[in-house]
Structure 1
Amino acid sequence: MDPVIIVGAGPVGLTLALALARQEVPCVVLDEGPGKDEPRPARTVVLREDTAALLERLTGQPLAQHGTHWAGWRSMRRKQVMREVTFGGDEPAPLHIAQHVLTVALRAALATEPLVEVAVDSRLDTVEQEPSGVTAHTRGPKGTWWRGSYLVGCDGPRSTVRKLQDIRFPGRTAVERHAVAALRTELPWADEALLHRMPPWRTSGPSAAEVTARPLPDGVWRLDWLLPPGKDLVTPELLLARIRETLAGWTGGPTPAYELLDTGVHTVHHRLARRWRVGRVFVAGDAAHLLGALGAQGLDEGLRDADNLAWKLALAWHHGPHEALLDSYQAERRGVVAGRLRAADQALPLLRGGGGLRAYVPGSARGHDALLTDGHLGRGSLGAPGAYAASPLAPRHLEGEVPVDTAPGEPVTDVRVTAEDGTFVQLRDRLGCGALLVVLVAPGTGVWDRKHWVTAGIMPRLAAAVAALPHPAELLVAESYPGAAAHTVLLVRPDGHLVAALGGVRPADLYSAAEATLGGPVKAEATAGSPSK
């Protein structure tokens, strides 16, 4: 069967290629550039715990060595500290990393992957599809035609794939603008991120209403100043003045020594593609959505797009197209991103509305700070990983379903489990291989060798039920899971979202839930690649 064609060699496209290769699906990545990324210290990304774990699983290396896990978070308003958060334990630390460093790590992992071909200097200009596959043409020094089973556009905000498929991309332009600088200096908050609203200095003309400092390795910081509405030019002189006054204001004296590494202007747009699938063609990442106000990170959502789509494409590639499963990519991912955009658009007028009575309402400043903190730290409606509660893949009417602390459709908690070979691993480490995961919660098993309990109690009956599922599944055993009673059985999707929690071994419910997760029974009359409506 023909490979999957991925257009775009940014973090989302490279992640999707690695995720598909891990599930034994060959890919061709069309890279319009030379295959190298220009170092830009001011262009960085903040990864949440789940997306950082996804990338570490795919690259096989800890990303912390390339970025910085924040030690804490501090919010200030004028001269007052509004909130402080210390990371560790129940509060996982975001990972801040330069985007070009992340891309280099992904490219290095792909270089050892025999199932992936990266075609550099290949700019897409034509896409044709028929029921049996997709044909794409690239221009450049080695312009040629490419044949694929599916094609995914991960080619950014100006996506050629999206335009060739005539997919509308409505939304708002320039929701916010930020002046950005990456510099090496010493600040009073080592490895702590800082959000400072209404800073008290006003020496370089109109003062920034908000400035954010995020640490990077080797004493480097990324600073962002929220710019006033309009299209006023950010001159080098204005930016240098802001750097000097901000550093002096934070250190309480003259401007400390600093080394300016990179500058830029970051413009936030809010847009959402009308369709994410047209037959055998999909869009993901910035080609499908743009968001980023209030600290929400667009790359996080793009990586979740790749994680969601990879196992579905892999199943269709290996076992034949399943239209309901492929259609669910748009239903799930577009629904989550649309909800996040609505939450940001509702919060923006409160946070950027200026003075008036709102400025004098008791507690309003702390409420606004809580909204911003949620966005920056990946919590709440502005930042937490989305749930697929209304997914078309959600099973219905399971008699044996029981509640746990994770609701159906939410990402599972990363607990320690015993694998089939008897080793102890983290649940998250078993994701991304295309198999369903069945987790039995069995207190006490963690202190006994697997050979003593694998043939005892309910294990044989559960193993038989797992073997009878309509898709390969791995049986794992956990000592405990938040909110789960003993003998609870969890069914988990390949991308780590909970399908259902069942009270005990219920083969019929388990089979029904697994079948629903795959989009229902495959119909023999389903035609490959029929366009979704």
Structure 2
Amino acid sequence: MDPVIVVGAGPVGLSLSLALAGSGVPCVVLDEGPGKEESRPARTVVLHSDTAAMAHRLGCTTLRDEGAYYAAWRTLRRGRDSQRVTFEDHPAPLHLPQHALTRGLRDAAAAHPLVQLVADSKLDSLEQDGRGVTAHTKGAATTWWRGSYLVGCDGARSTVRKLIGIRFPGRTAVERHAVAALRTELPWPGEALLYRRAPDEVTARPLPDGVWRLDWLLPPRGELVTPGALVTLIRDTLGAWCGGTTPPYDLIDTGVHTLHHRLARRWRDRRAFLAGDAAHLLGALGTQGVEEGLRDAENLAWRLAVAWHQGASEALLDGYEDERRRAVAARLRAADQAMPALRSGSGLRTYLPGAARSAESLLTDGHLGRGPLGAAPTYGPPVAVREVPTATEPGGPVENVAVTAPDGATVPLRDLLGRGRLLVLLVAPGTGVWDRRHWLGAGLMPRLAAAVSALPVRAELLVADSYPGAPAHTVLLVRPDGHLAATFAGVRPAELYEAADSVRAGAPDSDASRTPALAPAAPSPTPPTTPSGAPSGTPSSTPSGRPTT
């Protein structure tokens, strides 16, 4: 099989390439830029537990060094505390500059033998056939590329989206913020802050070394924010927070951030897909566009990995758009329904059913990754014939419990995601104190191991002392992206097989999807070396610059 072509080397494109490579799928990442990130401290991203775990799993080493976990979340209304949230019982959000996240992912991709990064390569055409995608780039060299699939992670002005003719409707300038990164001392070290005093709304989020990102909500359409006006905002805000006296501060970076809400009509055209800002734009009311793009990458990667290694049904590949577009559409719908009430100061009765809460609580949900504005998505109906209730809703992200693999290693469950394999988890109290040689051949394990080895897709068997809400001998089937697919009371081989087959959406439609394309007539004179004979994705061309098949 030819490699997967990923267009765009931002956080989403790099995450997708690393997730695919972690599943043994070679990738070519076409980067229109020079292959390095511009440092913009005022442009940051917030990651919650599922996306932070994903970035860590992919090898991003900048999370702890250049990011800060919230010590707490505080809401001030008219200068007084109205809400304070701490994180003793669940992970705190992680806040870091977007260029730091991108750099950490790029370093991991550059070190991976199955990822080929190509800078100064702007896509200008693509063609599809039954066996793959042919893409043409211009830049340092005019080149054709051949891939099994192609994914456009190339931003809001996506060339891929335009080339495959997909519309991108939505709303312009939904919110507008003045943004500043500055170093100063605030009365709440390490705590994120929402300050509301009509008509003002300001957020402050900590970064390492005493740096803060401050956001001021502006009218959607208003006057330009001059440097003088921004300095006035900074001084007035810091003075209001610090007893009327503006503390010393060092202004590092500034900007104006305009948020749009758009959703592509389709996310797939045969072998071409869209992800990240190429597929959707959101970010109002504290929602995070980059985070949703990372969820796109995780959802799509395991499907492409199954297709690349084993072949896949059209239903499995269509499932990416079905699940992710529905999840993002729900997020956009929730923001659009809440915004009139939140911004006008009127009542919240028009908001989602059962959500008669304060404006501060709704905004807190968006910023902390909770509720309809922020919670990690739940995908589709359960596929198990018989279920055991657990603390995780069917289709929801699994809890990050400690698990033990057959080799005896004990690791957090989420560390084992993203390798293109299903996870089958047996809840067996006492596993943590048993010697491996005893529990491998005891109780349910031999029968369950045989059932796992017979599944229609690759799977890994794990055990855990406990799982929230699950009784002993519960078996959980977990998708490669960490969402709970099914639960069983004990070992039920036929039902486990049926559930695994449902996850892969049935047998592959045709072996043709796995047939390698014919080699181009004139290969590149110096193809790079790849491990185990894996296809490299090296460009090739005929004398006319066009590949032949």
Q: What is the TM-score of this pair, normalised by structure 1? A: 0.93
Q: How does 1:302-451 map to 2 (within 5 A)?
A: 302-354=293-345, 367-390=358-381, 394-395=382-383, 398=385, 400-451=386-437
Q: Cα distance, 1:522 vs. partner?
A: 2.6
SS across alignment from 2:5: strand
- Contact 2:60 2:105 (8 Å CA) reproduced: no
Q: Cα distance, 1:348 vs. partner?
A: 0.5
Q: Cα distance, 1:248 vs. partner?
A: 0.9
Query: Which portions of structure 1, spanning 4 or more consecutive aligned residues, are displaced by more than 6 angstroms?
Result: 525-529
Q: Cα distance, 1:355 vs. partner?
A: 5.7
Cα pair distance change 1:365/1:476, threshold 3 Å:
closer
Cα pair distance change 1:194/1:43, threshold 3 Å:
same
Identify the residue that residue 75 of structure 1 maps to in structure 2. 75
Q: Cα distance, 1:356 vs. partner?
A: 8.5
Cα pair distance change 1:128/1:166, threshold 3 Å:
same
Q: Does 1:486 align with 2:502?
A: no
Gaps of at least 5 residues in structure 2 are 350-354, 516-549
Q: Which amino acid aligns with 2:308?
A: W
Identify the residue that residue 175 of structure 1 maps to in structure 2. 174
Cα pair distance change 1:53/1:525, threshold 3 Å:
closer
Q: Which amino acid aligns with 2:132?
A: G
Cα pair distance change 1:351/1:459, threshold 3 Å:
same
Q: How does 1:56-455 map to 2 (within 5 A)?
A: 56-59=56-59, 61=61, 63-88=63-88, 90-198=89-197, 209-354=200-345, 367-390=358-381, 394-395=382-383, 398=385, 400-455=386-441
Identify the residue that residue 14 of structure 2 maps to in structure 1. 14
Identify the residue that residue 504 of structure 1 maps to in structure 2. 490
Q: Cα distance, 1:107 vs. partner?
A: 1.1
| In structure 2, distance between residues paired with 1:232 and 1:355 | 25
- Contact 1:438 1:476 (8 Å CA) reproduced: yes
Percent identical residues: 67
Identify the residue that residue 205 of structure 1 maps to in structure 2. none
SS across alignment from 1:336: helix
- Contact 2:307 2:514 (8 Å CA) reproduced: no
| In structure 1, distance between residues paired with 2:81 and 2:456 | 55
SS across alignment from 2:466: coil
Q: Which amino acid aligns with 1:49?
A: S
The alignment yields a C-alpha RMSD, in angstroms, of 1.8
Q: Does 1:517 align with 2:497?
A: no
Cα pair distance change 1:140/1:168, threshold 3 Å:
same
| In structure 1, distance between residues paired with 2:416 and 2:162 | 37
Q: Which amino acid aligns with 2:391?
A: D
SS across alignment from 2:277: helix
Cα pair distance change 1:452/1:62, threshold 3 Å:
farther
SS across alignment from 2:446: helix
| In structure 1, distance between residues paired with 2:362 and 2:20 | 36
| In structure 2, distance between residues paired with 1:36 and 1:70 | 28
| In structure 1, distance between residues paired with 2:330 and 2:365 | 15
Q: Which amino acid aligns with 1:67?
A: G
Q: How does 1:29-48 map to 2 (within 5 A)?
A: 29-48=29-48
| In structure 2, distance between residues paired with 1:173 and 1:492 | 38
| In structure 2, distance between residues paired with 1:127 and 1:334 | 24
Deviates more, 1:265-274 or 1:59-68: 59-68
Higher RCO (C-alpha 8 Å, min separation 6): 2
- Contact 1:12 1:306 (8 Å CA) reproduced: yes
- Contact 2:131 2:513 (8 Å CA) reproduced: no
| In structure 2, distance between residues paired with 1:410 and 1:365 | 24
Q: Which amino acid aligns with 1:275?
A: R
SS across alignment from 1:59: coil
| In structure 1, distance between residues paired with 2:79 and 2:248 | 23
| In structure 2, distance between residues paired with 1:454 and 1:319 | 29
| In structure 1, distance between residues paired with 2:52 and 2:513 | 37
SS across alignment from 1:222: strand
| In structure 1, distance between residues paired with 2:346 and 2:55 | 43
Cα pair distance change 1:463/1:368, threshold 3 Å:
same
- Contact 1:131 1:528 (8 Å CA) reproduced: no
Q: Cα distance, 1:395 vs. partner?
A: 2.3
